[in-house]
Every structure is written in C-alpha cells, then in structure tokens.
Structure 1
Amino acid sequence: MNEIEQFILQQPVDRQERLFALAKLGRSLPNVTECISYNMPCFKLNQKPIFYFAPCKKHIGFYPTPNVITKFQEELSEYKTSKGAVQLPESRELPIALIEKMIAYRVEMIQGEH
C-alpha cells in the first residue's frame, strides 16, 4: 500500500470511493509520480504537480493549478472555485469527464514547458 492509499483509507469510509476515483485518474497517466505534498495526495509529471486533492467538510478540494481553473472557468461555473481550487460538493456526482479534461490540459502545459 502506498502513501496515497494510506491517506485515503484514513478518511471516513463514505468518502473513500470518491477519493479513490480521483487517485485512479492520476494513476492512469503515463510517467506520473505520486506523493503526499502539503498534506494532500499529489500527482506529478516531470516533478511538477498535475493536481492535488483533499477531503474537506462538505466537498472534495481539487487543485489543478490556477491556469487550469482560468482555462475552464466557464465549464466550472456551477462549482465554487478560487484561484487554484475547485470545490466538488459531496452532494453531486464527480464530474469525471471535466476533471479528465482539466488533467489533460495540465499535462499538456507541463509537457510544453520542455
């Protein structure tokens, strides 16, 4: 069991499925490393963060970096956002397709920096 799995298994049982779903998205990417950073699960490419996530009281915080939030601002209009975060409410299904698009955009950004 790795750090992220340990982190998720320490969360309330009713929240673990959603957290494992986000971890699965990160693990599906090639050449990705995973770690705990800022006390949150994090997936990186070329030592740069793709995204972080963490359970909060009534939502999951998804942190794909500020440029991604700006790029997808219109599609995120239904969600509470801040400079680098999206609040994914517990009361709604995870928007997997949108999260995948944001992750893909972030990966493209990182790959373009080389």
Structure 2
Amino acid sequence: MSANKPQTIDEYIAGFPKETQPVLEEIRKTIQKAAPEAEEIISYDMPTFTLGGSYLIYFAGWKKHVALYPVSGALLEELGEELSKYKGTKGSVHFPLDKPMPLDLITRIVKIRMRDEPVRSQSK
C-alpha cells in the first residue's frame, strides 16, 4: 500500500489501472447526477459523498469489482431481489468489473439513501 494516500477522488481514481479508471469515473458521475448537492471527500481511504454533513454513500475499487457502501435494511427491503444478483458483504454490494455497471441501480441506491437518511436543513 502506498504511503501517499489519496486526498481527492481524482487522486484515488488515478491510482487504479487505466482500464478501471473510466468505470470508477462513471460511478462517480452517476452518484453526482443522483445527488448533485452532495460533497466529495475521501473517508476511510474511499471516495465518499456527504450531504449536509452526513455520509451518504462510499464506493471503492478492488481488483475484480467495485463496492458500494452502505447497504442498509431499507435498501435490502426495496432492492433485495436486484441486489441478490451481486455478491457483497453485510454492508456492501459488489459490482464485477468484467460486466457493465448497473448505473440505473446505483442511481436508485443513492436516491433511497437520500430519502432514508434525511438531511437536516442547515439554513440559518
């Protein structure tokens, strides 16, 4: 593991093989489009989107897949059948790099997270 941890999502994506970079950028743009007010940061060494100071969604590139976190009970309840087509862990879903990314599903995941993790207004 490199001693120079990425400080931005651009740096994170640049650290991957050339063939993986467009996939990660595609996921990034999908999340941006679904949650245009979300801010990008690196948290837990992963690209992270926050909304109103709360964590919304993370993604991470791996050797053979891209993982999306967190997968909540609400997501499983609503999208369980679709998510069951993919491997994952208790809190994540893994999309294989050798298949097209399910961008519509990723958009729905982000929108459900936004709905189920209400962000408090920070207006003064």
TM range (shorter): 0.7 to 0.9
Q: Which runs of 4+ in 1 moved over 4 A?
A: none
1:25-104 aligned within 5 A? 25-28=30-33, 29-71=35-77, 72-104=79-111
The TM-score, its normalising length taken from structure 2, stands at: 0.81
CA-CA distance at 1:64 after TM superposition: 3.3
Aligned residues: 113
Percent identity, aligned pairs only, is 33
- Paired residue for 1:9? 14
For residues 27-65 of structure 1, the C-alpha deviation after alignment (integer angstroms, 9 at most, x for no partner) is: 222321110000000001122222111111211111134
Q: Give the letter for the 2:56 counterpart.
A: I
Question: Which AA in structure 2 matches 1:107?
Answer: M
Q: Structure 1: 5+ residue runs without aligned partners?
A: none
Larger radius of gyration: 2
Query: Using CA pairs below 8 Å that are at least 6 residues apart, which structure has the higher relative contact order?
Result: 2
